[in-house]
Amino acid sequence: MLTIGVDVGGTKVAGGVVDDHGKVLASNRKPTPADDQAGTRDTIVEVAAELARDFPEVTAVGIGAAAWIDAAGSTVLFAPNLAWRDEPLRDYVTKAVGLPTVLENDANVAAWAEFRYGAARQADDSMVMITVGTGIGGGIVLNGALWRGANGIAGELGHIQSVADGHPCGCGRLGCLEQYASGNALVRFARAGARQEPDRAALLLELSGGDPLAITGRQITEAAQHGDGVARDAFAQIGYWLGVAMADLAQSFDPQVLVVGGGVIDAGDLLMGPTVRAYHDQLAQRDRFPVADIRAAETGNTAGVLGAADLARRM
């Protein structure tokens, strides 16, 4: 059975035809007209329709969007980086493309891709995934199915509280995990460290032209890979908070596997090392019981297409 997966982000709409083994047989992409609600909707239709014409045996379309989706999986309630507000996207695409359509949040789609084809593919019951990018997202699989919650917005793991009365978060709360373990947090920690200990941030400051406020995530990764002390400390800090959160999730859900995904995992052991150490330190008293392994995500940039296509196959 062939299905189409469409990954909708702030800069691109990427589509692919996927078989039931997770192989992408064909793909395409178009720029996202992010400020144009109708234009974004129609770009999704164009991407899906082109693939459907080339593969007439396709049976359904899955869409993963960086947005909050309603409990029925039919309407985009709000998309922070797109123009959508209360957009009935599923039914529009179904009618325009002529194929049954599934609509889901992008982090849930990525989590499902990892459960089916990636780091948790050996699991048959449960997985929790945290995606670490500019912010933090997440997805939860329980009893072999994506857990969406009563209102369709489960898995907002970036907004569990890490520090009481901590840094203000864009969600309106204080001390959310997103403020301590995201790509933005990595940059904030590195910039603060470079101001306080410039001698230990020599390479990092060289890469940023001597200006701590000009430090970027890519520069932090490069500097850390070459031994810069402040850069490595920044990764250690976000890894610590990520490991603490993972320990909480292990005790809340007792999943078979915990997965770390998102762009920041390209840093490899710089992130995963301190994350795993903090996780095991937090669970030191549970040594009589098995706990989930932490694994790095494996599906990478194809996660959105793979996960959306497989969810469409299961509608």
**pLDDT for 5-25, tens place per residue?**
999 988 899 999 999 999 999
User: What band does 59 get if pLDDT is binned at 50, 70 and 90?
Assistant: very high
Statement: residue 286 has pLDDT above 80: no
Where is average pLDDT lowest: 11-15, 101-105, 168-172? Answer: 168-172
Please indicate whether residue 278 or residue 284 has the higher confidence score (pLDDT): 278
User: What band does 285 get if pLDDT is binned at 50, 70 and 90?
Assistant: confident
User: What band does 66 get if pLDDT is binned at 50, 70 and 90?
Assistant: confident
Average pLDDT on 84-99 reads 95
3-class DSSP string for the chain: CCEEEEEECCCEEEEEEECCCCCEEEEEEEECCCCCHHHHHHHHHHHHHHHHHHCCCCCCEEEEECCEECCCCCCEEECCCCCCEEECHHHHHHHHHHCCEEEEEHHHHHHHHHHHHCCCCCCCCCEEEEEECCCEEEEEEECCEECCCCCCCCCCHHHCECCCCCCECCCCCECECHHHHCHHHHHHHHHHHHHHCHHHHHHHHHHCCCCHHHCCHHHHHHHHHCCCHHHHHHHHHHHHHHHHHHHHHHHHHCCCEEEEECHHHHHCHHHHHHHHHHHHHHCHHHCCCCCCEEEECCCHHHHHHHHHHHHHHCC
**For 106-162, what is each residue's pLDDT tens digit?**
999 999 999 999 999 999 999 999 999 989 999 999 999 999 999 998 999 999 999
* pTM for the predicted model, two decimal places: 0.93
* Mean per-residue pLDDT of the chain: 95
**For 203-226, what is each residue's pLDDT tens digit?**
999 999 999 999 999 999 999 999
